[in-house]
Amino acid sequence: MTNSHISYTQTTQTESCLDPSVVVISVGTEGTRYNHPNANVFDALQARPHIRLLCTQATEQCQLSIQDTRDAVIKCFELQSNNNGSHPIRSPHGCPCAGTVIIELADEVRVLQPEQDFHRNVIIEPHFKKHRCNWKSSI
C-alpha cells in the first residue's frame, strides 16, 4: 500500500486480495507534514493482527513530541548496529522506528532488519506510547 490517503474500504479490499504477512509503510522525511500514515490504514491493519506492520519512521501518531525522542532512539539503533558489527543507515531527518527495513523474499517472507524483539522491546515500547504497530507475527 503506497498511498497514505487511501480509505478504510480501499485498504480492506486491497488486503483481502493480497493477504500480506508484512506491511512496510515508508513514512518519508515529510511524514508529519501530511499526517502520514493515514489513520484509516492503521485501523484496517489493527483488524488483522497477523500482519506485521513496520513504519520506517515514527510520527506524532506514535508519540506527541517525536523530536524529543529522536536522539534516544537513534542511540539505540547505533548500539544495536555496533553489537551486530554493522553500520547504521539512517536519514538525517525524522525519527526512526523500524528504520531501514530489510526483507528476504523467498518461499516465506522474513524480516531481517529490524529484529522483532529489538524493534518491540528497545524501540517501540519504551519510546512510542501511542504506537499503532502490529507485531504478533513471528515474521
- Residue ranges of alpha helices (H) inside 3-115 are 8-18, 39-46, 66-84
Give the pTM. 0.77
Residue 50 C-beta-side C-alpha neighbours within 13 Å: 4
Q: Is the separation of the CB atoms in 34 and 71 below 8 Å? A: no
Domain locations along the chain: 8-127
- Looking at the DSSP assignment, which residues form a beta bridge with residue 25? 55
pLDDT tens digits, one per residue of 88-118: 777 777 889 898 899 999 888 999 989 999 9
With contact defined as beta carbons under 8 Å apart, do 136 and 68 qualify? Answer: no
pLDDT digits (tens, 9 = 90+) for 63-92: 778 888 899 999 999 999 888 888 777 777
The C-alpha atoms of residue 139 and residue 129 are separated, in whole angstroms, by 23
